[in-house]
Amino acid sequence: MYCPKCRVKYKNDISLCPDCGELLVESLPPANKPDYHGMVVVYTTSDQSKILIAKSLLEDADIKFFASGDGIMDLFGAGRLGFNPIVGAIDFKVKPEDEEEAKEILAGLIEDELDDDLDDEYVDDEEDEY
Ligand SMILES: [Zn+2]
């Protein structure tokens, strides 16, 4: 018998999981975790305002996505509400079939990011001359 929550095998003579009290089952159901395999990163940013914009753009377009970063498996999935402060860059991942549409939707944000990079380089060059 297996506990569907703990995914641990137990001897046949018990029917409840000693750890969590869940009713044991004869075979484990398929893992109920989101499948991140095959997801493609369409946008990466560490700017919180852009993270929120990207999130709402994708939601408006009905594109299923995951946002993940250091130590964060999913920000918006799994019923997590609200928005916690994040340190570091966040990857927006979508299914391969949605990649093109997502990139189109996020094109404005992606261009912003490139502009920022160019500005930074320009400033750096100027500083070097002095
Ligand atoms: Zn259990």
Cα 8 to averaged position of ligand 1 atoms, centre (Å):
7
62 neighbors 76 (Cβ within 8 angstroms) = no
Question: What's the pLDDT score for residue 71?
Answer: 44
Residue 81 has pLDDT above 50, yes or no: no
CATH architecture for residues 40-129? 2-Layer Sandwich (3.30)
Residues with CB under 5 A from ligand 1 (ion): 3, 5-6, 17, 19-20, 22
Question: What's the pLDDT score for residue 77?
Answer: 47
Cα 78 to averaged position of ligand 1 atoms, centre (Å):
20
Cα 31 to averaged position of ligand 1 atoms, centre (Å):
14
Torsion of CA 61, 44, 36, 32, to 10 degrees: -70
Torsion of CA 45, 51, 89, 42, to 10 degrees: -60
Query: Which amino acid appears at position 5 of this protein?
Result: K
Residue 33 confidence class, pLDDT cut points 50, 70, 90? low
The domain segmentation of the chain, as residue ranges, is: 1-32, 40-129
Residues 6+ apart with CB under 8 A from 70: 87, 88, 89
Residue 35 confidence class, pLDDT cut points 50, 70, 90? low
Per DSSP, the three-state class of 45 is: strand
Residue 119 confidence class, pLDDT cut points 50, 70, 90? low
Put simply, whether the predicted model's pTM sits higher than 0.75 gets the answer no
Cα 20 to averaged position of ligand 1 atoms, centre (Å):
4
Question: What's the pLDDT score for residue 112?
Answer: 67
Question: What's the pLDDT score for residue 68?
Answer: 76
Residue 114 has pLDDT above 90, yes or no: no
Query: Which amino acid appears at position 10 of this protein?
Result: Y
Cα 19 to averaged position of ligand 1 atoms, centre (Å):
5
Residue 117 has pLDDT above 60, yes or no: no
